Chains A and B, each alone.
Chain A
């Protein structure tokens, strides 16, 4: 039986993502854990995250998960980041007055701003709800998911990736932002697959079956 570790660093609701994976991948043993040994021993690893980036990065560093995440990335095992988990993989975020992140992907996390608009209409921030994700490159995690499918988002900051090759999905909300990034065995999404019903469950199922090759 393969194992999937969800890294628990005390931020938010890990129940949903764990239940969603159990629902679509009954053959996978899901562990919500903050034990370094358990994370490193798992066949695949998920880095979730909600809330403010300073608190998230603070806890990730305090618990030594910065090194753990990087060694999982280096190991070739499938690694999935979700929401702030994705943002944490970038160089830095401008939230909370500027926070250094893990630097696994080149680029910044930026605020949507108070003056975000589209076609003359002021847009609400946070970007909350179901929006379309346009697939920029093929990837095993997109398997069975139509291009332009809607996923559930809730965030006020967005990923601005430097390397366009790393951007696997884009979404428009006043501007185009990276909804999914990836490289090798690492994939990360801004939306919440565990809250995105069929499409989200499909992505989690794909992750549970992924061998880590793009």
Chain B
């Protein structure tokens, strides 16, 4: 891990008490993605190759991460029949530059996440953004009528890869999901 990631990012993550407790290797892996305006990633899950805690640091630009509960067969059909629409639970997480998003527990195991391929995220407000109350600058978004233009965003996705060598060969072989 290069020094420019250890300090400040990795070291500061290790200071988050309890979050990475139990991860066999701590943080041993950083995926760096660049998202240009209009780029995104289809909904996906990250699966069992990683310890189920993921830290995402956003740099340079804002975008919305769409988190959706995995379909459960128990009630969805009945819900659909009675309401005429899909009631799958979903959450929009606005990731501002310099922010950290931590995903743990069932938020990791029971959801899919993706990023819409849009040049602008719209309709952002207290009702639609799950982390609205935690944002650094709600006023800036409100002043733009709930719109946030995409600019180039670089994300650092930091995790514990459980089987370093086996997983490594898979990752090197072809592009795989994992973007956030």
Task: Note whether A and B form a binding pair.
Answer: no
Q: Show the binding face of A for B, using Cβ within 8 Å.
A: none
